[in-house]
Structure formats: structure tokens, C-alpha cells
Amino acid sequence: MSFPSRPAACASIVMILVFGAGPLDRARGDGGGGGSDERPSAARPAPDDPDYAAGVQAIKANQFAEAIPLLQRATGRDPRNADAFNWLAYATRRNGNPAGSIPIYQKALAIDPKHRGAHEYIGEAYLMVGDVAKAREHLARLDSLCLLPCSEYRDLKKAVEQYEKTGKVSTTR
């Protein structure tokens, strides 16, 4: 990884502090998150869509099967909402269908190629289906997206390393 020069890095930090992080503050693609919550978070205001809101709440309650049709309706009404597609893919993956989640994550990334959460989670889905090379592609993309080390990069890197050591990936994320 190459680092920007000290003046460029300082200027970038000042810009973030003055103007906000913009799309980068949506760390998991739906408002940020990390910490002890293992799921995408809803720090960014949710759209005025009751299905979207109910789907997010279902995910927070680990009711992934219930979240899927709610988020399918929400993405049907708002097909440009990368966050809703990220949530839908997350629910699909956590409901036991990692292969089925991959095209949904791809849709989120087609809408927002810088969606850090979708990159992390599609990487984890690829590990779940045994495709380490694809997971590493998304790890590399996160490395280029994160100005400073970010939780999405760290989490996916840890998952890749765990998979390479044990042949398993944690299914709790």
C-alpha cells in the first residue's frame, strides 16, 4: 500500500473535518457502523419506506428470512438505493444463501462502486463459497477506498486470513 505525502494526507484530513467524510462516512454502506454490532448499521437516516425500515429492524432482530421480502419490496420501489441492496444481500447471506447474496451485493456495487460495506460483505460471501481470489479482489478494493485503515478492510482481512488458516469463515457476520 502506498501512502500519500504528509501534506496531501493532512490536506485530506482537513477536508474531511471541514466538509465531512461524504460517501466514506457510510462505512458499511448504510451509515457506518462497526464496533460490537456485527451487522450493517442504520446510522444514516433511512428512506421513508416502511418496508425498508421494517427490513432493517428484522435484521437487527436476527430475523433474516422475514427481512428478505420486505427489502425486496423496498428495492423494487427504489432500485437506486445501494444501501437497501446491501441490507437485502446481507439478509440473504445470513439466511444461509451466500451464493444468492453475491448478485445482490454486485447490484449494490453497480449503484455505488465505493460502497465499503458491500465490498466487505461480498468478500465474506465469496469466502463462504470458497472463492478466496474474489474475496481478495474486494480486500484490495477496500485497501484503495480507505484513506485511513477502516473496519471493513480489517474485518475482511481477518476473515480471509482465518479462511486461509482453517478453511472456514465465521457465519455470524
For 19-62, write each residue's pLDDT tens digit. Answer: 343 333 333 443 333 333 344 544 344 558 999 999 999 999 99
Give domain status of residue 151, yes or no. Answer: yes
Give domain status of residue 173, yes or no. Answer: no
Range of the domain at 103: 6-166
Give domain status of residue 86, yes or no. Answer: yes
- Are 106 and 79 in contact, with CB atoms under 8 Å apart? no
Give domain status of residue 56, yes or no. Answer: yes
pLDDT digits (tens, 9 = 90+) for 67-109: 999 999 999 999 999 999 999 999 999 999 999 999 999 999 9
pLDDT digits (tens, 9 = 90+) for 103-126: 999 999 999 999 999 999 999 999
Q: Which among 145, 86, 134, 130 is positioned nearest to 110, based on CA atoms?
A: 86
Give domain status of residue 82, yes or no. Answer: yes
Give domain status of residue 141, yes or no. Answer: yes
DSSP code for 29: S
Give domain status of residue 1, yes or no. Answer: no
Angle (CA) 148 154 156, round 5°: 130
Which three cell numbers mark 62? 436476527
Cα 30 off chain centre by: 8
We report the CATH number of the domain holding residue 10 as 1.25.40.10
Give domain status of residue 172, yes or no. Answer: no
Structural domain tally of the chain? 1
Determine what percent of the chain is predicted with pLDDT higher than 70: 71
Q: Which residues contact 59 (CB under 8 A, 6 or more apart)?
A: 39, 40, 67, 87, 90, 91, 94
Give the integer Cα–Cα distance in Å for 126 and 45: 29
